[in-house]
Amino acid sequence: MNSKWLVPALIVLGLAACSSAPKKSAAGASGSSAQRPATVVLGTGSAGGQCPDGSPYAKAQEDLSTRGNYTAGGLYKPGVSDSTPTYVPNVACIPEPEVVSEPRSPVGNKSPYSVLGKSYRVMDRVDDYVEQGTASYYGQKFHGRLTSNREVYDMYTFSAAHKTLPLPSFARVTNLDNGESVVVRVNDRGPFHEGRVIDLSYAAAVKLGITQRGTGRVEVRALTPGDNTVVSGDSRRARRERTAAVASAPARRAAATSRMDQLVEKLPPVTPARPVAASAEHFDTWMKDNGARVATGRPAITTAAGDAPAAARVQALAPPVATGAPAAAATPVIPAPDKADAAARALGTILLQVASFSSRDNAARALGQLSSAGIAGASLSDIVSGGRTLWRLRVPARDHDSAAELAGRIAGLGFGRPQLVRD
């Protein structure tokens, strides 16, 4: 290999993830500027029995067209927006990498190294490395392009770029806002944006549920082969509780509300009557017009009638009883938790996650809206993440076809398109 070519190549490869994360507005809350329509995600949870052996995707090969096209400073095609696929058959079927002992790559591990005037030192040991911060991701623009250690970036594997972890190495990345986690193999350098700790492959970002915003608040925990059995054997709930304990701090400020909570809390006191809820801002009026009342009480409530047949995919609500006073709102049917669980199992193991709330009252109001719309089986469940309790609103579906139809109905109520998960 021509050594004269290799040195500058390593520099620019080290910047591979620097400009890869989808860019956001100045406020940082809008979606990625990557030009892509809504992604259809069929599975982000645990792999089900219908997954093939190995990954459903062919291994990526180097795309020679991704060579070159660098500018001063090492950025790759800075004027070209990143993009992502519009269809992911089942991210849950992509296997997580096995944590094994691998020799360090002969390239990509220079220490110290400098990028954009800042120096970085690759870790000698990764024991006990845990860091929290912002994760971003990169997609089709880099698919088939060589990484910093001269492997091929494959957006359909669980991989990542990190500034100081050895190449290759392994880490568990956990979304601190929803508890989802994934094991990634680190084979690239970056991200070199201020405040970001890791750049995820597209598949890993979908698994963690951060693709809508473009970034997410995560914990990165380095893994070694000795950790493999313990980590893999843990239940998802146990991992979430462990993450919550690490993330908690005595001087922690009040938990920030989720985006959906903020929408619900901004509900106007009075809005014109309308036949359907066009968006989250119209919860109150829509619920009053449709005879729904906020469902409150203990966790794991559901709208599915305990004795309803499994085939009943749409549950009609009884109209409110007319009285001399203003019409009283009807209360959604709330069966005992054991019957609710049985109903959900009867409807199927596929779950659509509608939203996560930091306020249980807001979650219950959203549950009431789904009930009033005749969507059966919706339920609330709680998780502890980052020292706070989050309420997840989920709806079961029988199969992928019914899930797609149900997702469209839910999106039409103003929630946005739900993600399909498996537990």
Please answer whether residues 136 and 214 qualify as being in contact, where contact means their C-beta atoms are separated by less than 8 angstroms.
yes
Q: Which CATH number is 63's domain given?
A: 2.40.40.10
Q: Which domain holds residue 72?
A: 3-247
Both 418 and 381 in one domain: the answer is yes
**How confident is the model at residue 131, as a pLDDT?**
96
Both 242 and 351 in one domain: the answer is no
Look at residue 218 and tell me if it is in a domain: yes
Both 221 and 286 in one domain: the answer is no
CA distance 373 to 6: 61
The residue from 221, 247, 273 where one domain ends is 247
Over residues 40-57, the mean pLDDT reads: 59
Both 366 and 326 in one domain: the answer is yes
Domain count for the chain, please give it: 2
**Which tens digits make up the pLDDT trace of 128-156?**
899 999 999 987 666 678 888 989 989 88
> Who has greater pLDDT, 53 or 205?
205
Picking from 401, 341, 345, 411, the residue whose alpha carbon sits closest to that of residue 375 is 411
* Weakest mean pLDDT among 214-228, 247-261, 269-283: 269-283
Backbone angles phi, psi at 10, to 5 degrees: -65, -35
Look at residue 252 and tell me if it is in a domain: no
Both 165 and 202 in one domain: the answer is yes
Over residues 312-325, the mean pLDDT reads: 37
Provide the Cα torsion 40, 185, 208, 74; round to 10°.
Answer: -80
**How confident is the model at residue 125, as a pLDDT?**
92
CA distance 88 to 55: 12
21 token code pair = 């994360």
Amino acid at 143: H
> Who has greater pLDDT, 110 or 30?
110
**Which tens digits make up the pLDDT trace of 3-40?**
444 444 444 344 444 444 443 333 333 333 344 344 44
* Weakest mean pLDDT among 97-106, 163-172, 362-371, 404-413: 404-413
Q: Given phi > 0 = left and psi -120 to 50 = alpha, else beta, which region is 414?
A: left
pTM: 0.47
Picking from 413, 336, 319, 310, the residue whose alpha carbon sits closest to that of residue 369 is 413
**How confident is the model at residue 17, as a pLDDT?**
46
CA distance 334 to 69: 60
Look at residue 254 and tell me if it is in a domain: no
Both 243 and 285 in one domain: the answer is no
Any bridge partners for residue 292, and if so which? 330
CA distance 375 to 370: 5
The residue from 219, 247, 275 where one domain ends is 247
Look at residue 223 and tell me if it is in a domain: yes
3-class SS at 174? strand
Instruction: Identify the helix (H) or strand (E) that includes residue 201.
Output: strand 196-201
**How confident is the model at residue 244, as a pLDDT?**
52
Query: What are the residues whose beta carbons fall under 8 Å from the beta carbon of 176, sequence distance 6 or more?
Result: 132, 217, 218, 219, 243, 247, 385, 386
> Who has greater pLDDT, 6 or 289?
289
Q: At 79, is the pLDDT very low, low, confident or very high (cuts 50, 70, 90)?
A: low
